[in-house]
Chain A
């Protein structure tokens, strides 16, 4: 029973990070109908932003303090938001009127460009870096069940960001504009919505979440390297598809399910090396039964 609960906690903490990254994929898809493959790399850049910011923040705030950690998180999110806006402006905006496939391939190009530029020794270098401990590494022990404070923080931060995101999308003017663009871009433009600023905002918001994901991931798995976003990004993308791409609560749900599946599969002797395989096989099954994803609405393509 303890083992089961422990795996449940492990899985939820991992899934919460996938959820944060998945939200970015799904938001961009919702508005622009294309997959931003560079999203996983923004996640990586978020972790590195934290790596370089932490010593700076520690100059005027005590090291390993919750306030300092929160400040690093917020600053890294801001940097990532800016990066997201810049990537969209430089790489995707000039291709806005081109076929979606062109933009998709460009996204892959942007992703590779970021990964390999960052591997150069004058940028971050290829070797893994140790991510600093932002908060004291304490664990709480209930009868053999070990919960890290890091894990609790991941879950709480994800929950808070989810609520904030829901508020932005549902209750603010910008959120309404985002939904309008997502629903019908030409009509939204005719109604006076500034498409460019809505798209920039969407990229900024999604990238900020990826940045938060990067910091939370690095707090739990303290080794960061320029290729860390590849596998994690791919999994988050799958989580977004599982939940129904374009659907925000779906992305969060998909992330949690993927984290749990992976963790439970990983704990079984003999099949632990197939943890990704098992998780993905179950995903395929779910998608066979519900092609639009768990919470996605199947829509008829307008011809």
Chain B
């Protein structure tokens, strides 16, 4: 199943050539510092993986243009996880044991980060996930970090938004049972929404990759909710919005950062308008560093507007480079301590402080889909 397009793509996209003969784990002066990245460049969440990769690669290129770290250039080795279970473990093993990378960046999806985390922990190679929000990811061990907030925060934010801003009393929850991310968000949403005095009228599930949701949506409609929480990924979320409209289920649908992709609007069309989701970043947040990031990203990637995943990918590389500088070495334990000591680091997605659980503590934004655009609604502090 390992096929050439994935290798080809990874090789072309990163434009790096492996020297292949560098067996030593401590390259001499003039060598590079190897950083591993695993991302879903093909498969159903490829939009996220590619965005994240573009952000990460751009950060590495900018750091190198500024002279690199510790007098050496960073070299990003990217592997494709193909959105497949099992693939992340394989590629991360390869990055660590064959390529001797000093740190691992990745992945977007929590399920795949959870696969790679134990391997990084065992080998004492620090791992920074750009945007996996499931709490269990960093619980794997003290070498695992992330530069995003976690599901409890996002689920809680959306529950408060539903009962506060939307004044919803009865909400249905529609979860992707194949995804740890979706289940995590759903759990914390339900807890907070009930604590706010709301009622979860019905809970239904789907499997990521499904296309037909009419069966579940028909049941949801019969329960007559004020809103539906759909903490899934964009492909399914778009189809769910379309099919909900078709069935005459005209209540707002709420989601998490898994919704944020232009594909949501492309596939969902008019049906996604009027729905809300929480995320890490929006380009109209307007901090100076984010403005610079938006400009550079458009320049580097043919006028593309950066999405959250690109911003998080970018931040993951910045936080790592900053830690290497502070540690003064690429030695695993010392680098780990330096990442853990990250405090009020000015990143694109907000000011990042790594807390005692190795999660980033920073703000969330709520966006509304209006006329096919993601409109910034409010920022919620941790």
A associates with B:
yes
User: A residues engaging B (CB < 8 A)?
Assistant: 2-3, 6-7, 10-11, 14, 112, 116-117, 119-121, 125-130, 137, 139, 141, 144, 146, 148, 217, 220-223, 225, 227-228, 231-232, 262-270, 272-273, 275-276
Tell me if B70 is interfacial: C-beta within 8 Å of chain A. no
Residues on A with C-beta less than 8 A from B263 are 127-128, 130
Residues on B with C-beta less than 8 A from A112 are 1, 3
Contacts A3-B218, A11-B215, A217-B211 known; 16 new A-B pairs at CB < 8 A: A2-B222, A3-B221, A3-B222, A10-B214, A119-B43, A120-B5, A125-B46, A130-B269, A139-B248, A231-B209, A266-B215, A272-B215, A272-B219, A273-B177, A273-B206, A275-B215
B42 interface neighbour in A7, A126, A232, Cβ under 8 Å: A126
Q: Is the beta-carbon distance between B235 and A128 smaller than 8 angstroms?
A: yes
Q: Is the beta-carbon distance between A119 and B42 smaller than 8 angstroms?
A: yes
Q: Quick one: closest B residue to A277, CB to CB?
A: B207
Taking CB atoms and an 8 Å cut-off, the chain B residues in 83-104 that contact chain A are none
Q: Quick one: closest B residue to A11, CB to CB?
A: B215
Q: Is the beta-carbon distance between B216 and A267 smaller than 8 angstroms?
A: yes
Residues on A with C-beta less than 8 A from B371 are none
Q: Is the beta-carbon distance between B219 and A3 smaller than 8 angstroms?
A: yes
A132 smallest CB distance to B (angstroms): 10
Residues on A with C-beta less than 8 A from B222 are 2-3
Known: A116-B5, A273-B205. A227 touches B216 (CB 8 A): no
Residues on A with C-beta less than 8 A from B5 are 116-117, 119-120
Known: A128-B263, A223-B239. A266 touches B44 (CB 8 A): no
User: B residues engaging A (CB < 8 A)?
Assistant: 1, 3, 5, 8-9, 41-44, 46-47, 50, 177, 202-207, 209, 211-212, 214-216, 218-219, 221-222, 235, 238-239, 242, 246-248, 263, 266-267, 269
Residues on A with C-beta less than 8 A from B50 are 127
Q: Is the beta-carbon distance between A6 and B218 smaller than 8 angstroms?
A: yes
A141 to B211, CA, bound (A): 23
A141 to B245, CA, bound (A): 12
Q: Is the beta-carbon distance between B247 and A6 smaller than 8 angstroms?
A: yes
A269 interface neighbour in B204, B206, B214, B221, Cβ under 8 Å: B204
Q: Is the beta-carbon distance between B248 and A14 smaller than 8 angstroms?
A: no
A144 smallest CB distance to B (angstroms): 7
Q: Is the beta-carbon distance between B46 and A127 smaller than 8 angstroms?
A: yes
A211 to B290, CA, bound (A): 46
Residues on A with C-beta less than 8 A from B209 are 231
A139 to B271, CA, bound (A): 14
Q: Is the beta-carbon distance between A146 and B246 smaller than 8 angstroms?
A: yes
Main secondary structure on B side of the interface with A: helix
A266 to B269, CA, bound (A): 25
B255 smallest CB distance to A (angstroms): 16
Residues on B with C-beta less than 8 A from A276 are 207
Q: Quick one: closest B residue to A217, CB to CB?
A: B211
A222 to B240, CA, bound (A): 11
A10 to B214, CA, bound (A): 6
Q: Is the beta-carbon distance between B204 and A141 smaller than 8 angstroms?
A: no
Task: Kindly list the 10 A-B residue pairs having the minimum CB-CB distance in the complex, ordered from nearest.
Answer: A266-B215, A273-B205, A221-B211, A126-B46, A10-B214, A273-B177, A126-B42, A120-B5, A263-B215, A267-B219
Known: A7-B215, A228-B211. A148 touches B202 (CB 8 A): no
Residues on A with C-beta less than 8 A from B214 are 10, 14, 263
Interface centre among A6, A129, A227, A263 (most CB of B within 10 A): A6
Q: Quick one: closest B residue to A6, CB to CB?
A: B218
Interface centre among B8, B41, B211 (most CB of A within 10 A): B211
Residues on B with C-beta less than 8 A from A10 are 212, 214-215, 218
A11 to B239, CA, bound (A): 17
Known: A127-B47, A127-B263, A139-B246. A223 touches B215 (CB 8 A): no
Q: Name 20 interchain pairs, CB-CB below 8 A, sorted by A.
A: A2-B222, A3-B219, A6-B218, A10-B212, A10-B218, A116-B3, A119-B42, A129-B266, A130-B267, A146-B248, A221-B212, A222-B239, A222-B242, A227-B44, A232-B211, A267-B216, A267-B218, A269-B219, A272-B204, A273-B206
A20 smallest CB distance to B (angstroms): 15
Q: Quick one: closest B residue to A5, CB to CB?
A: B218
Q: Is the beta-carbon distance between A148 and B44 smaller than 8 angstroms?
A: no
A278 smallest CB distance to B (angstroms): 11
Residues on A with C-beta less than 8 A from B205 are 272-273
Residues on A with C-beta less than 8 A from B8 are 120
B145 smallest CB distance to A (angstroms): 28
Q: Is the beta-carbon distance between A267 and B215 smaller than 8 angstroms?
A: yes
Residues on B with C-beta less than 8 A from A220 are 212
A201 to B342, CA, bound (A): 67
Q: Is the beta-carbon distance between B44 and A225 smaller than 8 angstroms?
A: yes
Known: A116-B3, A128-B235, A221-B211. A148 touches B218 (CB 8 A): no
A148 interface neighbour in B42, B204, B216, B246, Cβ under 8 Å: B246
Residues on B with C-beta less than 8 A from A7 are 215, 218
Known: A272-B206, A273-B206. A14 touches B212 (CB 8 A): yes
Q: Is the beta-carbon distance between A141 and B248 smaller than 8 angstroms?
A: yes
B297 smallest CB distance to A (angstroms): 18
Interface centre among A2, A146, A266 (most CB of B within 10 A): A266
Residues on B with C-beta less than 8 A from A268 are 219
Residues on B with C-beta less than 8 A from A272 are 204-206, 215-216, 219
Residues on B with C-beta less than 8 A from A6 are 218, 247
A145 smallest CB distance to B (angstroms): 9
B267 interface neighbour in A137, A223, A262, A270, Cβ under 8 Å: A223
Residues on A with C-beta less than 8 A from B215 are 7, 10-11, 262-267, 272, 275
Q: Quick one: closest B residue to A2, CB to CB?
A: B222
A197 to B171, CA, bound (A): 59
A128 to B263, CA, bound (A): 7
Q: Is the beta-carbon distance between A223 and B235 smaller than 8 angstroms?
A: yes
